[in-house]
């Protein structure tokens, strides 16, 4: 089940908290505590089930603690519990959804909210900037869409509440057009507060904004239940098997990366300005320091990683994937030897997809710098052809040309290759 489906199914009528909220001193409070106890006993899934049920029923403490769990925050009531991360991995999208729903929880249906409930809402609101700071813009948008879909699937009053959030930029990106649309929908369904909000907001908007909002009213439909929007079990299984197959193929391809000489790595690092010291084919302190600088730079702008995750990347030892990325980056700054290595990677499918067209493109860039070994590699490619994507067909003339260029530049293996090519070509004619 996708997170969208899980969220909708778990939240269900969560946005309708104003209608079905339970008092803090009633069963919701007791069940919240039962969830804390289950969590402390290591019964993590049971705890989640308890908190979800009562979050749906309008318990703000349950909403907030679900945000804590999915953000990886230690729980105050479960200090002695074993680590739950294997069963409940950190999920910032879910965390932001639950914290948002807790931070903008509506207490109007309560007689008098307890201090614990008010505190839960305050703490959830305080956590929002930190969670957003961990996330990419795309994931923040995804979480906001889940929140909006939850409210849109609820009651008419929920549509009004969602409009308020859009108008104020409270938990969602400020959007007066969406706010006016939702006020209009709620007003048409008899929500008095929505009528007043609509009358206040409409004069503040341009004619085009008003027209856009009303056009959206005409075409609006409540979100479909997850069973009509999710993928079938067969589709999910096929996707899982495809991912597994691709991962196995890539794992085999990456093994070959470990055979690349340290000298080539040193030259690529130098081309990118990371100063590996002497090019001596030895993985010494200077080269390791240069690798650490490359690793740090490669994740510096990644907004999806925490500081701890970024620090864990900076090891001074390249992983196969980082090795591929290093040569790709150096090739893109027109470093001839890296262009050659990256081209060979595409010929053989080492860490990248086997692709004849891309292989020839990178090898030609290297050959343009009069790199003899790149001409030789092109001679081999045109002599034998390639397999994989975008296959290159054998071409005797092009092969002879590149072998001759490599020979002229002093690459001795090209002499024998050229003689053999001439012999085979003459024999084929006879």
Residue 167 confidence (pLDDT): 92
- The answer regarding whether domain 239-429 maps to CATH 1.25.40.10 reads yes
- For residue 1, the 8-state DSSP code is -
Euclidean distance between CA atoms 242 and 248, whole angstroms: 10
Domain with CATH 1.25.40.10 in the chain: 239-429
CA dihedral 101, 102, 104, 106 (to 10 degrees): 100
Residue 353 confidence (pLDDT): 83
Tens digit of each residue's pLDDT (9 = 90 or more) over 261-280? 889 999 999 999 998 988 88
Euclidean distance between CA atoms 216 and 157, whole angstroms: 18
Q: Which run of H or of E encompasses 292?
A: helix 285-299
Spell 114-150 as b/e; 16+ CB within 10 A means b. eeebeebbebbbebbeebbebbeeebbebbbebbbbb
The residue ranking higher by pLDDT, 217 or 256, is 217
What Rg value do the Cα atoms of the chain yield, rounded?
31
In which band, very low, low, confident or very high, does the pLDDT at 230 lie, cut at 50, 70 and 90?
low
Tens digit of each residue's pLDDT (9 = 90 or more) over 2-43? 444 444 333 333 333 332 233 333 344 447 888 888 888 888
**For the chain, how long is the longest CA-to-CA vector?**
101
Six-digit token string for 212: 């856009």
Six-digit token string for 304: 């999806």
Residue 46, pLDDT > 70, answer: yes
Task: Report the share of the chain in percent with pLDDT over 90.
Answer: 34
Rounded to an integer, the average pLDDT of 312-330 is 88
Ranking 159-168, 190-199, 413-422 by mean pLDDT, the lowest is 413-422
In which band, very low, low, confident or very high, does the pLDDT at 336 lie, cut at 50, 70 and 90?
very high
Beta carbons of 295 and 389 less than 8 angstroms apart: no
In which band, very low, low, confident or very high, does the pLDDT at 198 lie, cut at 50, 70 and 90?
very high
- State the average pLDDT for the chain: 80
Rounded to an integer, the average pLDDT of 70-84 is 64
Residue 85, pLDDT > 70, answer: no
Rounded to an integer, the average pLDDT of 174-197 is 91
Residue 410 confidence (pLDDT): 92
Rounded to an integer, the average pLDDT of 227-250 is 60
Rounded to an integer, the average pLDDT of 403-412 is 92
Residue 17 confidence (pLDDT): 34
The residue ranking higher by pLDDT, 208 or 422, is 208
Residue 74, pLDDT > 60, answer: yes
Residue 28 confidence (pLDDT): 41
**CA 100 centroid distance within chain:** 21
Angle formed by the axes of helices 320-332 and 336-348, to 10°? 130
In which band, very low, low, confident or very high, does the pLDDT at 89 lie, cut at 50, 70 and 90?
confident
The phi, psi pair for 284, rounded to 5°, reads -90, -175
Residue 36 confidence (pLDDT): 87
Give the CA distances from residue 102 to residues 140, 191, 246, 288, 309, in Å, rounded to whole numbers and listed in that order: 16, 23, 40, 47, 28
In which band, very low, low, confident or very high, does the pLDDT at 80 lie, cut at 50, 70 and 90?
very low
Rounded to an integer, the average pLDDT of 324-348 is 92
Residue 333 confidence (pLDDT): 93
Q: Which long-range contacts (CB under 8 A, 24 or more apart) does 178-186 make?
A: 178/213, 178/216, 180/205, 180/209, 180/210, 180/213, 180/214, 181/213, 181/214, 181/216, 181/217, 181/220, 184/213, 184/214, 184/217, 185/156, 185/159, 185/217, 185/220, 186/156, 186/157, 186/159, 186/160
Query: Which pTM was predicted?
Result: 0.47
Euclidean distance between CA atoms 430 and 422, whole angstroms: 12
Tens digit of each residue's pLDDT (9 = 90 or more) over 301-310? 777 778 888 8
Tens digit of each residue's pLDDT (9 = 90 or more) over 94-114? 999 999 988 888 877 555 788
In which band, very low, low, confident or very high, does the pLDDT at 421 lie, cut at 50, 70 and 90?
confident
């Amino acid at each position: 089940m996708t997170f969208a489906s899980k969220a909708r199914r778990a939240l269900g009528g969560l946005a309708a908290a104003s209608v079905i909220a339970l008092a803090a001193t009633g069963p919701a409070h007791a069940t919240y505590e039962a969830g804390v106890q289950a969590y402390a006993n290591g019964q993590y899934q049971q705890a989640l089930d308890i908190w979800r049920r009562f979050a749906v029923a309008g318990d703000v403490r349950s909403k907030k603690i679900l945000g804590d769990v999915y953000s990886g925050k230690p729980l105050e009531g479960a200090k002695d519990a074993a680590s739950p991360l294997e069963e409940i991995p950190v999920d910032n999208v879910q965390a932001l959804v639950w914290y948002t729903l807790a931070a903008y929880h509506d207490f109007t249906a309560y007689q008098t909210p307890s201090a614990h409930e008010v505190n839960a809402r305050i703490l959830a609101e305080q956590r929002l900037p930190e969670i957003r700071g961990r996330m990419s813009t795309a994931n923040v948008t995804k979480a906001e869409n889940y929140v909006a879909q939850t409210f849109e699937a609820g009651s008419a009053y929920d549509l009004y509440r969602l409009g308020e959030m859009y108008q104020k930029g409270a938990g969602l990106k400020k959007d007066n057009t969406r706010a006016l649309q939702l006020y209009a929908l709620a007003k048409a369904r008899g929500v008095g507060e929505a009528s007043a909000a609509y009358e206040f907001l409409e004069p503040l908007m341009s004619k085009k904004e008003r027209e856009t909002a009303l056009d959206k009213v005409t075409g609006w439909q409540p979100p479909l239940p997850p069973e009509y929007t999710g993928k079938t079990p067969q589709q999910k299984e096929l996707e899982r098997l495809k991912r597994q197959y691709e991962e196995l193929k890539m794992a085999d391809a990456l093994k070959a990366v470990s055979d690349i000489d340290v000298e080539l790595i040193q030259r690529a690092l130098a081309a990118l300005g990371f100063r590996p010291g002497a090019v001596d084919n030895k993985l010494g302190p200077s080269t390791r320091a240069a690798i650490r600088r490359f690793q740090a730079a490669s994740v510096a702008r990644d907004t999806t990683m925490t500081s701890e995750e970024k620090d864990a990347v900076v090891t001074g030892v390249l992983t196969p994937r980082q090795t591929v990325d290093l040569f790709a980056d150096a090739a893109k700054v027109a470093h001839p030897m890296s262009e050659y290595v990256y081209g060979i990677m595409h010929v053989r499918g080492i860490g990248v997809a086997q692709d004849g067209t891309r292989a020839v493109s990178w090898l030609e860039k290297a050959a343009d710098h009069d790199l003899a070994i790149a001409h030789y590699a092109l001679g081999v490619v045109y002599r034998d052809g390639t397999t994989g994507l975008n296959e290159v067909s054998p071409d005797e003339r092009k092969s002879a040309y590149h072998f001759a260029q490599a020979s002229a530049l002093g690459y001795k293996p090209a002499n024998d290759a050229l003689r053999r090519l001439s012999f085979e070509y003459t024999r084929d004619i006879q």
